[in-house]
Amino acid sequence: MSVILFLEQALNGVQFGLMLFLLAAGLTLVFGIMDMINLAHGSLYMIGAYFMASFVQMTGSFWLGLPLALIATAVLGAALEMSLLRRLYGRDHLTQVLATFAVILIANEAVRIAWGSQPIMLNPPAGLTGPVALPGGLQYASYRLLIIAVGLAVALALYLTVTKTKVGMLVRAGASNREMATAMGVDIKRLFTAVFAVGAALCALAGAMLGPILAVQVGMGENILILAFVVIVIGGIGSIRGAFVGSLLVGIVDTGGRAFLPMLFSAFLPPQLASAAGPAVASVLIYVLMAGVLYFRPQGLFPARG
Amino acid sequence: MTFRLLGLGAAMLIALSAQAANELKIGFLSTLSGPAGGIGNEIRDGFNLALKLAGGKLGALPTEVIFADDTLNPDTGKQLMERLLKRDRVNLVTGIVFSNVMLAVWPTIEESKIFYIAPNATPTSLTGKGCSPYFFSASWPNEAHHEAAGAFAQSKGFKNAYLIAPNYPAGKDALTGFKRTYKGTIVNEFYSKLNQLDYSAELAQIRAAKPDALYAFLPGGMGINFIKQFVAAGLSNEVQLIVPGFVSDQDVVRAVGEPMLGMFDTSQWAYDLDNDANQKFVAEFQKEYKRIPTLYAEQGYTAALIIDQAVRDAKGKIEDPKAFRAALMKAPERAKTPRGKWKEAANGTPIQDYYVRALVKDREGRIVNRKISTILKDHGDFWAKDCSMK
């Protein structure tokens, strides 16, 4: 195999990882800081993508639709937090799972009623629909380069916000000891609503960025949410850095497995068996990775709290 | 959803029990919600349209349709089918979208000796050795679209082809069907993960392999993901993409749009088939639902027309299996369906034509699946040879 193909697959892995990071970042914030298992994270991702598709259609512009979708989803997220999720913080995780699973079902049917049951259209902005030539003669989808850029920008922005700003300090204080933070005068209620709204906006960003290369349809969130959970479990719950590293690991291992395992297997297995075994093993690779990480570091790679 | 339908079913049952016995009750079990719900809705809309145009009467009998949603869960489907058959006591059942649900509910149907009219899934295990007089497909045998695609790739003189399908039974059947009629070199036969999101690794390999043609059977959201990414990677300029109609009909066109131009697909039907029944169907469907119908809608519509014809010809004797089956088997040659007439093989599958359609813009600028040729004429089910019914 050529060097170009190897580089392309490596880039694909990083790109897929950053796709997952967009979703995992919001999930890990909510999970880590609010100690809340929010299965409905995928629903916010779906709703973000639907808002995006609608606003793009309404305004005729991808770049005008994007901020509108982020704001609309953040408002919806805040409303969800204030009306329902707030009541679940004190409960055990099973209750949270059940309640937010109900939110998934309600969200799916609500989207079906509002937008219909068939997938809707969301395409890349003009100018980013085709491939570009990278150095070395590599043809790469220009829109995927945008996803890489946005993923890196979000990672940097979140990292700086959480570690270097006053808000970030409050967030960290709320995460590590809720009662103490309240005693010190932090308005935890408002802080959590804000964190959840930001998480929802991140969902919308993920939905809006991934919509042009994935199907925008009812239930689109559940599929990708599983991967996002794998990412934050590997990375360490609540840690932005962990989500970033976990995403890249999952992206590279999954893509690498799909790209190289069939080839590797065909070197020492008969072709029939190799073409069957390669993809099969590749599809479980990230779970093997997760099991391995959990065995050696049960808290994940970068645990947020001691 | 299920609870609402349960309630609805119960209400209908009470309403019905008071009426005269001279009526037709049809159980319609389909996937109406969840990610794959779009297909079931399309079949239902087609079925409902035919019923409406017939004045609410199929076979001249007042007709009640009881809908149930299997949510693509075989166990749910099985329970709902039991309810339709035992409590609602329907005369006929239809509606199932997916082969796995079909196979799960089939023993229940066969046991109760009620006829099932397939508007979609027609798995090979019900048409070969496992064929049954109570199973009647008004759609197509599962492998036919793929055989048509293979024949098309062959006729175009593509020297080699790259095949991709999800790693589950229908994916393997699809590629088996394709390979049955395509005689060129198979560059690679790739089975991707079910419900895969990102295909960049596969697309990079396809680009490196430089095949003449690419056959992709990736139904539902997988197909949308794949086509979007295929075009974004610029591969549409290098490789000819061929798909079965399930991957590229109007439901997908509405979600993907322009990038689909230039693809080819195969189908048992096309919106521009030149016959009166089809023109009526397409015009009425657009009037009713404000969209171009898909092949699924045609299947639902045709299933209703076949029921109408068979019940009429059997003079309402649905309870007499021999008479009703005889009427059913003749119905495709008598009913005026959008597909035209066809002969039903003894194993209960259509012997019909398959078309190649190109994704092009029509005069109004809409993206449509336009028929370009008839690739297989009077094509029957490969597995009919294993069926003992003659």
Split at pLDDT 50, 70, 90, the class of A297 is: very high
Q: How many CB atoms are closer than 10 A to CB B308? A: 23
Mean per-residue pLDDT, B87-98 = 95
pLDDT at A196 over 80: yes
Instruction: Measure A73 CA to nearest chain B CA, in Å.
Output: 21
Residue A284 tokens read as 């479980």
pLDDT at residue A303 in the model: 81
pLDDT at residue B16 in the model: 44
Nearby residues of A85 by Cβ (< 8 Å), 6 or more positions away: A36, A38, A99, A100, A196
pLDDT at residue A89 in the model: 86
pLDDT at residue B170 in the model: 83
Provide DSSP, B207-218.
HHH--SEEEE--
pLDDT at residue B17 in the model: 40
Structural contact between residues B170 and B122, judged by C-beta atoms closer than 8 angstroms: no
Q: Which of B37, B204, B234 sits opposite A218 (nearest CB)?
A: B37
The region that residue A133 occupies, defined by phi over 0 for left and psi between -120 and 50 for alpha, beta otherwise, is: beta
pLDDT at residue B18 in the model: 36
pLDDT digits (tens, 9 = 90+) for B306-325: 999 999 999 988 889 999 99
Q: Which chain B residues contact residue A259 at CB under 8 A? A: 201, 204-205
pLDDT at residue B9 in the model: 52
Looking at the complex, does the CB of residue A266 fall below 8 Å from at least one CB of chain B? no
Q: What is the 3-state secondary structure (H, E, C) of chain A?
A: CCHHHHHHHHHHHHHHHHHHHHHHHHHHHHHHHHCCCCCCHHHHHHHHHHHHHHHHHHHCCHHHHHHHHHHHHHHHHHHHHHHCHHHHCCCCHHHHHHHHHHHHHHHHHHHHHHHCCCCECCCCCCCCCCEEEECCCEEEEHHHHHHHHHHHHHHHHHHHHHHHCHHHHHHHHHHHCHHHHHHCCCCHHHHHHHHHHHHHHHHHHHHHHHCCCCCECCCHHHHHHHHHHHHHHHHCCCCHHHHHHHHHHHHHHHHHHHHHHHHHHHHHCCHHHHHHHHHHHHHHHHHHHHHHHHHHCCCCCCCCCC
CB contact (8 A) between residue B192 and residue A258: yes
Tell me, what's the ipTM?
0.88
Structural contact between residues A38 and A160, judged by C-beta atoms closer than 8 angstroms: no
Is the domain covering B144-267+354-383 a CATH 3.40.50.2300 domain? yes
Give the least confident one: A52-66, B28-42, B270-284, B357-371: B28-42
Structural contact between residues B133 and B153, judged by C-beta atoms closer than 8 angstroms: no
Query: Fold match between B2-140+274-344 and B144-267+354-383?
Result: yes
Q: How many domains does chain A have?
A: 1
For chain B, the structural domain boundaries read 2-140+274-344, 144-267+354-383
Collapse the DSSP code of B173 into the 3-class scheme (helix H, G, I; strand E, B; otherwise coil) and give the result. Answer: helix
Instruction: Measure B6 CA to nearest chain A CA, in Å.
Output: 17
pLDDT at residue B2 in the model: 47
Q: Chain A, 47-66: which have a CB under 8 Å from a chain B CB?
A: none
Q: CATH assignment of B2-140+274-344?
A: 3.40.50.2300
pLDDT at residue A34 in the model: 81
Q: Which of A8, A52, A56, A143 is best to mutate for the B interface (most B CBs within 10 A)?
A: A8
Give the least confident one: A74-78, B88-92, B164-168, B268-272: B164-168
Amino acid, single-letter form, for residue A206:
A
pLDDT at B149 over 70: yes
- Has residue A302 been placed in a domain? no
Collapse the DSSP code of B8 into the 3-class scheme (helix H, G, I; strand E, B; otherwise coil) and give the result. Answer: helix
pLDDT at residue B1 in the model: 45
Looking at the complex, does the CB of residue A214 fall below 8 Å from at least one CB of chain B? yes
In whole angstroms, give the CA distance from residue B157 to residue B377. 19
E-strand spans in B167-259?
A: 185-192, 213-216, 240-244
Helix (H) or strand (E) holding B359: strand B350-361
Give the least confident one: B21-35, B219-233, B236-250: B21-35
A48 vs A281, residue with greater confidence: A48
pLDDT at residue A282 in the model: 82
Split at pLDDT 50, 70, 90, the class of B367 is: very high
In whole angstroms, give the CA distance from residue B302 to residue B338. 7
Q: If you ran DSSP here, which 8-state letter would residue B247 be given?
A: G
Phi and psi torsions of B35, nearest 5° = -55, -35
Whole-model pTM: value is 0.88
Rounded mean pLDDT of chain A?
89
- Has residue A258 been placed in a domain? yes
pLDDT at A33 over 90: no
pLDDT digits (tens, 9 = 90+) for B15-73: 444 333 489 999 999 998 877 788 999 999 999 999 999 999 999 999 999 999 998 89
Q: Which of B167, B192, B234 sits opposite A131 (nearest CB)?
A: B234
Residue listed under structure tokens 């979609």: B120
Mean per-residue pLDDT, B73-82 = 95
Rounded mean pLDDT of chain B?
91
Neighbouring-strand partners of residue B344: B350
Q: Which chain A residues contact residue B37 at CB under 8 A? A: 112, 117, 218
Mean per-residue pLDDT, B248-269 = 93
Helix (H) or strand (E) holding B373: strand B367-379
Split at pLDDT 50, 70, 90, the class of B6 is: low
pLDDT at residue B5 in the model: 52
pLDDT digits (tens, 9 = 90+) for A214-263: 999 998 998 899 999 999 999 988 888 999 999 999 999 999 988 888 77
Mean per-residue pLDDT, B346-359 = 96
pLDDT at A115 over 60: yes
Domain extent at residue A38: 3-296
CB contact (8 A) between residue B233 and residue A12: no
Residue B118 tokens read as 């397939």
% of residues, chain B, pLDDT over 70? 95
Q: How far is CA A266 from the centre of its chain?
A: 34
pLDDT at residue A268 in the model: 80
Q: If you ran DSSP here, which 8-state letter would residue B358 be given?
A: E
Mean per-residue pLDDT, A270-299 = 85
